[in-house]
Amino acid sequence: MNENVLNQTAKAMVADGRGILAADESTGTIQKRLSSINVENTEAHRQTYRDMLFTTPGFEQHTSGVILFEETLFQKALDGTPFPQLLASKGVIPGIKVDKGAKALPGAPGELVTEGLDGLRERLAKYHEAGARFAKWRAVITIGDGIPSDYCIHTNAHALARYAALCQEAGIVPIVEPEVLMDADNTLEVCEDVTRRTLEAVFIELDKQRVLLEGMILKPNMVISGKKCAVQADRQTVAEATVRTLKRHVPAAVPGIAFLSGGQSDIDATAHLDAMNKIGNLPWKLTFSYGRALQAAALKAWGGSDVDAGRKAHLHRAHMNGLAAAGKWNESLESAV
Ligand code: 13P
C-alpha cells in the first residue's frame, strides 16, 4: 500500500472549490431517471447521456472526480475516447462504484446489508488498470419503528471496512458511504442520533481493519429532518447539527467529507453545504458527491436530445456547488443565469 499515493488522491478529490459528480447509477436506477424523460434505457442512451455530462465545457473547474458505473468505466465517449481517459485528460479523477447493491438483511425485517465483497480484490485490480483511482461502496441505514438495529449498523460497518481495506491494498481511495436515509417521518434529532451510532460503528471498524484514514473519503448523509416529518428543520439548524455530529465522530485525519444529496432539493443540497462551510474552522474539507442534486436539472434540460441545454444546466449546478464547497454561495447567484 502506497500511503502517499492514497493521501494525494484523497486530497485531490476534495481540492478547494471542487467536489464529486456521482454518475454511477446502476442499470436499474438509471432506468428510473431515463423513464422520467421518456428515454428508453439502452446502452447507447446511457452512453449519450453520460457523454453530455462529461463533455460539459468547464465542469472540471468545479469537479474533482466522477463516480462511474462499471459499464461506463469500460465504455467509450461518442468521440471514441474511453470515458476514464476523457475524464483524466480534463484533470477529473475517474472513480468506480464497486458494491453490488443493498439486499435484505436476514432476520431483520425492513433492514438492508450491502453485498459485493466476493471477488472484490480481483475486480479492483481490473478497475485500477482501467484508470479508476477511487471507489464507492454505499451502505443503507433505514430509520423506522425500532430500527436501525445495532445488528444492521454493525454488519454494514464491517462490510464497509472490509471494502475500504481491499481498496487501499489496490491503490484505490475508498469512499466510505454509510447513508442514513431521509425518507421517513423522523425528526432531525432522531437522524442525529442514528447518524452518531452509525459513524461511531464505522470508525471503530475502519480502525480495527487497519484502514488508513488519510487515504479515504467519508460520504455521509446530512443530519436533517425526515422527508415525511411535519416539522422541517431550517437550513442553519441542519448545518449546525451536521457539523456538530461530524466533529464528534470523524477523526481529523480524514482529509475530506463529501456529502450525498439523498433526495434533498437541488437548492437545499447546495445551501446546506454552503452554510456548513460558512461555519468555518473545520478539521476536514467539506464538499459534495451528489447524484440527483447535480444531475436532475441537466437530465430534464437534456430531455434525450438537447445537449447544449443539458450541459448548461449541469455546469450551473456544478458551479453553484463548487461555490458552496468554499462557503461562497448565495441564493441570488441561482437566478444569475
Ligand atoms: P444522491 O446525491 O442522489 O443521494 O446520490 C449520491 C450517491 O452516490 C448515492 O450513493
Mutate to test the pocket of ligand 1, among 292, 294, 295, 321 (most ligand atoms within 8 A of CB): 292
In eight-state DSSP terms, residue 283 is S
Backbone phi, then psi, for 174, in 5-degree steps?
-85, 130
Quick check: is 177 catalytic? Answer: yes
Residue 290 CA to ligand 1 center (angstroms) comes to 5
| Cα 320 from Cα 333, distance rounded (Å) | 8
**Residue pLDDT, tens place only, 14-24:** 999 999 999 99
By C-alpha distance, which of 68, 130, 124, 71 is closest to 96? 68
Pick the atom of ligand 1 nearest to 138's CA.
Answer: 10
Residue 313 CA to ligand 1 center (angstroms) comes to 18
CB-ligand 1 contact for 137 (6 Å cutoff): no
Mutate to test the pocket of ligand 1, among 227, 261, 266, 273 (most ligand atoms within 8 A of CB): 261
Delineate the domains of the chain, giving CATH numbers in brackets: 3-335 (3.20.20.70)
Using an 8 Å Cβ cutoff, are 126 and 96 in contact?
no
Of all protein residues, the one whose alpha carbon is nearest to atom 5 of ligand 1 is 291
Residue 190 CA to ligand 1 center (angstroms) comes to 21
Residue 24 CA to ligand 1 center (angstroms) comes to 9
Q: Residue-wise over 108-146: b if at least 16 C-beta within 10 A, else e?
A: beebbbbebbeebeebbeebbebbbbbbbbbbbbbbeee
| Cα 47 from Cα 83, distance rounded (Å) | 10
CB-ligand 1 contact for 260 (6 Å cutoff): yes
Residue 248 CA to ligand 1 center (angstroms) comes to 24
Residues in the chain where the model's pLDDT stays below 70: 336-337
* pLDDT score, position 1: 72
Burial class for 21, CB neighbours closer than 10 Å (0-12, 13-18, 19+): buried
Quick check: is 328 catalytic? Answer: no
Mutate to test the pocket of ligand 1, among 260, 265, 267, 273 (most ligand atoms within 8 A of CB): 260
Of all protein residues, the one whose alpha carbon is nearest to atom 9 of ligand 1 is 260
CB-ligand 1 contact for 22 (6 Å cutoff): yes
CB-ligand 1 contact for 192 (6 Å cutoff): no
- Which entry of 70, 97, 192, 219 is annotated as an active-site residue? 219
**Residue pLDDT, tens place only, 51-95:** 999 999 999 999 999 999 999 999 999 999 999 999 999 999 999
- Which entry of 111, 177, 179, 192 is annotated as an active-site residue? 177
* pLDDT score, position 139: 99
